[in-house]
Amino acid sequence: MDIGKSQISNSTTRNAGVALNTAWFDKIQVNTSAAERRAATLATRRSVKKHYQAAWLVKALQCIDLTTLAGDDTVGRIHRLCEKAKRPLRDDIIEKLGLASDPPQVGAVCVYPTMVPHAVQALRGSCIPVASVATGFPAGLTPLYIRLAEIKYAVDQGAAEIDVVINREQVLLQNWRGLYDEIAAMREACGEAHLKVILATGDLKTLRSVYKASMVAMQAGADFIKTSTGKEDVNATLPVSLTMVRALRDYGEMTGFQIGFKPAGGLKTAKDAMTWQILMKEELGRRWLEPDLFRFGASSMLADIERQLEHFTTGRYSALSHHALA
């Protein structure tokens, strides 16, 4: 049973950013009711079953940023998580899926800056990048020079991707110049590391503010825009994700740059993975199902994906405890 693997090349021109242009979003209106109706149909418009569903789930696990951001993280936990990242599926499941010659791996491992060198060491020899949160995660309220220093520290330690969080006050006060300048400075501090900008959409109040903040982040040079830190009261939702994806599409049409998207927080099941993949496929096309343009910030999702793939290959469901992350 070979479910196949994608042959799409993951090569995109990095977003260079543009000068701040508020005319691109000043008069934007977002119909919340329409966004909610569109989001509500996503899980019902397609029925993906059997080996097609298995293929989608394998693709989903390749887009997971396997993450630990706990106050009691240890070197041992990081190493165990990295081993899971390199081998997210049990060998018997991989064999039955026909993927033994090229087993799937997750999209990245995401940790706090001080844990970056341990993750880099544990992942040596693999192609899995290390991502690090920075800039006073999750509140983003430390002074800018400290936030920039944290980015540079994480990059120096080997992080290939930096997940930064914005200062939400800039959005709530509509201070687009202030938001743009801060994100542009973060992009410069990242150097060659890719910049993933967390909007913390649960704190932004309206979909219109979500759209505007998304556009400013991309104009300032974001390689990815991300919904949430996972610490807000409301994290990734489909209406918010739809709004961000539409902003991403608009920016691409105006500039030619392909920007990545990362929903995070509240996504836990294989069904969630399928729903968000359908969103990307319908709104942006097949290209946005690849890990260089799409990531899940949803580590717990991996256990359910592995469980569903075990059911596909054996016909039996096992307890989630059989599919530990580390």
226 is known as an active-site residue: yes
- First vs last C-alpha separation in the chain: 28
Per annotation, catalytic residue among 65, 163, 223, 304: 163
Q: Catalytic pick from 65, 203, 226, 304?
A: 226
The Cα 248–Cα 230 span in angstroms is 21
> In this structure, what DSSP letter does residue 129 have?
P
For strands 260-262 and 224-226, give the pairing: parallel
Instruction: Find all residues with CB under 8 Å of 188, minimum gap 6, and list them.
Output: none
Distance of CA 203 to the CA centre of its chain: 18
Contact 157, 120 (CB under 8 A): yes
Which residue in the list 65, 262, 272, 292 is annotated as catalytic?
A: 262
42 is written with which tokens? Answer: 């996503």
205 catalytically annotated: no
Signed CA dihedral, 77, 83, 89, 93: sign only: negative
For CA atoms 283, 183, 263, 82, the dihedral sign is positive
Structural Rg of the chain based on CA atoms: 19
Picking from 96, 206, 197, 189, the residue whose alpha carbon sits closest to that of residue 137 is 197
**Catalytic annotation on 59?**
no
Strand partners, 111: 132
Beta pairing partners, 174: none
Contact assessment for residue 240 and residue 227, using Cβ atoms and an 8 Å cutoff: yes
- Residue from 233, 291, 267, 214 nearest 58 by CA: 291
Residues with catalytic function: 163, 226, 262
